[in-house]
Amino acid sequence: MNEHLAAALVGLVGCSLGGALTPYLIRRLPEPPPDPEPEEGAELTAAQKARLAEGPKELYADLGRRPRLGLVAAAISAVAGAGVGAALGWDWLLCLLLPLVPVGTLLGIVDHRTRLLPSIVVLPATLAALGYGGLRWALTGAADDLVRGVVCLLLVRTVFWLLWFIRQAGMGFGDVRLSALLGCTLGYAGAGPLLVGLYSAFLMFAIPGLVIAIAKRDRSVLKRAYPFGPFLLVGAWLGVVAGEPMVAAIWG
């Protein structure tokens, strides 16, 4: 059997099983504390206005009990895992990416429904990504992967932190944390996946809102807050599965 097909089957089965656990894991997440009430007479920031307009967040306990959530999460994870396996074949990076696929599915669903990216999931996943680089170094004696992952983590997180600092309404700090995880992981995959993953995320995030604004002739659509995490995760997946071929096609 072709190694890429075999890796795709492993990714499909393994990630679908991991994705099926999503409802249970979401129900186990600690509920975030409520946003503090703004002081009377204080001027609200754009981010505070957006949160007030949204109303109360959906509880993790309620989200985890949504009908067919496990089936949807398993299907998303299966497709994503199969794509990663088909793209990489039997590569060391599968040891990191396949476990991260169900994690990314969980984060994407939670951010889509609540506009929150729980640090209790993101931070351990980032440590696991760094641990992968350290383990490769210990086993092979080559520190290239670890150095590349750390450099990309710091670079991407710094860029996202600056974007968050300049315009808080357009990006939450959870996106900054997630960018560190994705920067490290895409850094292991290479420069092509990193560039394609980040660029496609911003492109997918911007184009739908622009199309809707043009169709409705309403620029206020562009000022609304939307969850960025799902776009970052899909972009990272595209970077892994198509980054190198796309860069090769563009640059010859």
Q: Rounded to an integer, what distance in angstroms lies between the CA atom of residue 98 and that of residue 110?
A: 19
pTM of the model: 0.88
Query: What one-letter code names the amino acid at 225?
Result: A
Q: How far apart are CA 222 and CA 139, in angstroms?
A: 49
Write down the domain spans for the chain.
3-251
Average pLDDT score over residue span 139-146 = 88
Q: How confident is the model at residue 224 (pLDDT cuts 50, 70, 90)?
A: low
Burial class (CB in 10 A: 0-12, 13-18, 19+), 90: exposed
Calculate ∠ Cα 195-188-96, nearest 5°. Answer: 120
Confidence of residue 49 (pLDDT cuts 50, 70, 90): low
Q: What are φ and ψ of residue 66, in 5° steps?
A: -65, 140
Indicate the range of 106-110, 231-235, 244-248 predicted with least confidence. 244-248
